[in-house]
Structures are given as C-alpha cells and as structure tokens.
Amino acid sequence: MHSPTIPFRLVSTQREEQLAQFNARKEIAWFGFRGAFKEPGLAIINFTKIESGLQGGGGTSAINGGVIAAGFDAAFVLAGLGHYDSKVVVTLELSVKFLSLALVNESLAFQAHVVRSAKNFSFAEGFLSQAGTGPAQHLAIATAMVAPAR
C-alpha cells in the first residue's frame, strides 16, 4: 500500500472551503474527528477527543473497529473533496484490515490519498497510525472507492 499520491486537483482556496464545510459536519464532530489537508495530496483525520463510547469491548482501552472504519471513511471522503468540486463525496466501497489495537492513549491519525482518479470516481488508500510513526507502525490499513455525489 504505497502507491503514488495524486496531487489535489482543487486549488488551495477551494480546498479551504471544502475543509471548513467538512469539519463543520455534525457526524465529524460527534466522532471527535478533525480533518486537514497536507500537500501534495494527503487527507489527515485526527481525534480531537475520544469518548468512552468509542472504545471497544472486552475490557480493552482500544478504539472500536467500527469507529476505525468511520475514521477511514472520513479520511477517504476528505481526500475526495480535495479532488472534486462537489459539496458531497460518497464512499462507494471500503475495505479495512486491522493490524493491531489502536489504544486510546496514543496520538492517532488517519491518512488517506487518492491513487487513481477519473471524472466520476477515485481509488484511494490509507492507514491509521500513531502520529509521527513510520509505515511499520500501521495499526490498520484501508482502501476505498469514492465519488462526487451528483
């Protein structure tokens, strides 16, 4: 999962508008997510808070797998928003592989980027890791297909 990153299609002022609308979405705030763009084509989702309801069962202090899937979904949508002049980008397909527990006391970040893009859809890949760690420290990896809503 180290395909080349396709640079954002939208210019920085358009991306700033997309980002502001994305971060204002109720479900993004509910999960405690906060999005950001990083050149040349990276979408980043950080946790601003981790409520106890986001933790997994079994007595673990790890992020629930469904929340991880939602974080990837958010990261892929944000990556798509950097490419399409559309207020809404939808995830058509999402595949997540869990590699290790994502403990709540870690500084976690989802990163996603588009690897192939067309007018009506894009393929993307991403990973979840502790902020500042290398590829060997991925806690989960994912792929997706996203499209602008018409």
CATH code where residue 52 lies? 3.10.129.10
The answer as to whether 1 is a domain residue is no
Is this prediction's pTM over 0.85?
Answer: yes
The answer as to whether 4 is a domain residue is no
Residue 53's pLDDT is: 77
The answer as to whether 2 is a domain residue is no
The answer as to whether 144 is a domain residue is yes
The answer as to whether 67 is a domain residue is yes
Judge contact between 85 and 14, C-beta under 8 A.
yes
Residue 6 to residue 9: CA distance in whole angstroms: 9
Judge contact between 55 and 64, C-beta under 8 A.
yes
Beta-bridge partners for 92 = none
Tell me which residue range forms the domain holding 82: 12-148
The percentage of the chain sitting over the pLDDT mark of 90, rounded to a whole number, equals: 74
Residue 30's pLDDT is: 94
Residue 32 to residue 119: CA distance in whole angstroms: 31
Mean pLDDT of 97-107: 86
Indicate the DSSP class of residue 62. Answer: B
Other beta carbons within 10 Å of 111: 20
The distance between the two most distant Cα atoms of the chain, rounded to a whole number of Å, is: 46
Judged against a pLDDT cut of 70, whether residue 133 lies above it is answered with no
Residue 22 to residue 79: CA distance in whole angstroms: 11
The answer as to whether 72 is a domain residue is yes
The answer as to whether 21 is a domain residue is yes
Judged against a pLDDT cut of 60, whether residue 41 lies above it is answered with yes
The answer as to whether 5 is a domain residue is no
Task: For residue range 116-131, list pLDDT tens digits in order.
Answer: 999 999 999 999 998 7
How many domains does one find in the chain? 1
